[in-house]
Structure formats: structure tokens, C-alpha cells
Amino acid sequence: MKKHLAWLIDPHIVCEIIELAQKHGKRKGDNMQTEFETILKKKPNKFKLLGATDQDIDMITGNLREQGKKILNINEINRRKK
């Protein structure tokens, strides 16, 4: 199975990733993995690795909800729109 990494990053870094993706011509909903990796290499001290898992985002959010956490999963919102 593929390992998925969970990161803790501040909102300013998220904005940098989005701005770089927009400069590359990406739009809302496009994959920003390349931009994420670019900023990670430039500013590694702004990223904290929380861990790795075999679960995908849907499984992770479902498990957290079962523990009583309130979790927003953008993928679910996008699926509802379709």
C-alpha cells in the first residue's frame, strides 16, 4: 500500500503554495503536490511531519469523526457538488 504523509503547516505557507500553483497556471481543485514539494525544500523548518499512514484522506477523516472530532474534508464537499 502507498504511504500517505501528514504534515502540520501554518496558513502562510499554505498561501505560498497556492500562490506558486497559480503562477504555474493551476486552478482551484488542481493537484499542488509539486508546489508543496518546492516550498518544503525551500523552507523545511516551516513544516512538521506528523506521521505516515496507509489510510487515505477519507479513511482518516472518518476515523477521526468516530472519535468525536469535527473534521472538514474538501473531497467530500466536492463529491456532493457533482
Q: What number is the average pLDDT over the span 27-42? A: 94
Rg of the chain, C-alpha, whole Å: 14
Which domain, by its residues, includes 60? 4-81
pLDDT tens, residue by residue, 53-68: 998 888 888 888 899 9
Residue 15, classed as helix, strand or coil, is helix
**Average model confidence (pLDDT) across the chain:** 90
What pLDDT shows up at residue 1?
A: 64
pLDDT of residue 29: 83
Number of domains forming the structure of the chain: 1
Q: Are 71 and 65 in contact (CB under 8 A)?
A: yes
Q: Kindly tell me if the per-residue pLDDT of 25 is higher than 80.
A: yes
